[in-house]
Structure 1
């Protein structure tokens, strides 16, 4: 009887420990406004090709765990919004863009309200990868930046490919 009790106790402990190892599904935590704090790409972009300003993005959790993302960007002095849906997959933290089937991974950092979004896709036979540190506020956080640099290093991104865009809350066209 004691051995049966010990076996049940051990099995329960294993189940609890395994549940702690699995990433939690923080889908509700992702809804809201997010700021891009740092970006890394597999290609070193010339300075003229890097985004000078980054606007906050809005994330809305949809039924079934999908995410609707609205980004704002400036092109030819005009403000533009673009919406896309990230479809949740069976793999925790993995999403696909519905139109392109681009793989997107969202991982929580150890710093509160900071996440890393990692994407990889093939376009015209070439592989493209990008990582982005996002936060709920535009304030700098050295601890989050250090963790992002470690992430970039683990994915074999060159350190010189990390850049920090200027944060802006408004999309105001620049005067010519």
Structure 2
């Protein structure tokens, strides 16, 4: 009887420790500079909206697990800085933006320091989905791209919708 009680207590302790481990995984620190290695869209992105060049993304951790994201968009030969907040949800690694109109899912890859940031929502009455494979350094990562292609397959997005814009460290407006 004592051995049965000890077994039950031990299993309970293992379950609690496992739950704490899972919570720690959910507390991943996404703060810092991120470099895009590739993008995909579900077919709803018009050709004129596909970025030619991209820049590092800066993420800052806020209170309660929320994140502030700073991106630079290249448009008509000019740099435009844009900030938005990603609000943590009850679901692990799921955030909402733009007053709940868009959902962002962050998926950790097996490739060290690489994640997929996948955003979906509605825009002008159409459902859209867009994903980015991001890393903490600017070096190319064939392993991360292979994992990204598997993700794209799981999402049932055509592989031809994957593209790799030119990555620039800094945004310098074009001179006349």
* TM norm structure 2: 0.89
Give 1:19-168 correspondences, 5 Å limit: 24-28=25-29, 30-43=30-43, 49-168=49-168
SS in 2 for 1:151: helix
Q: CA–CA distance in 2 between the matches of 1:100 and 1:18?
A: 28
Deviation at 1:3, TM superposition (A): 1.3
**Any unmatched runs of 5+ in structure 1?**
none
Asked whether the equivalents of residues 34 and 137 of structure 1 are also in contact (C-alpha less than 8 Å), the reply is: yes
Q: CA–CA distance in 2 between the matches of 1:22 and 1:160?
A: 37
Please name the residue that 1:10 is paired with. Answer: 11
Deviation at 1:159, TM superposition (A): 0.6
Asked whether the equivalents of residues 101 and 122 of structure 2 are also in contact (C-alpha less than 8 Å), the reply is: no
Asked whether the equivalents of residues 68 and 86 of structure 1 are also in contact (C-alpha less than 8 Å), the reply is: yes
SS in 2 for 1:24: helix
**Any unmatched runs of 5+ in structure 2?**
none
Measured against aligned partners, the alpha-carbon deviations of 1:32-80 in whole angstroms (never above 9, x if no partner) come to 1111111010017576542111111110001111100010112222211
SS in 1 for 2:13: helix
**What CA RMSD, in Å, does the superposition of the two structures yield over aligned residues?**
2.1
Superposed structure 1 runs of 4+ greater than 4 Å apart: 17-23, 44-49
Asked whether the equivalents of residues 69 and 83 of structure 2 are also in contact (C-alpha less than 8 Å), the reply is: yes
**Closer, same or farther in 2 for the Cα pair 1:136/1:85, shift >3 Å?**
same
Q: CA–CA distance in 2 between the matches of 1:47 and 1:23?
A: 40
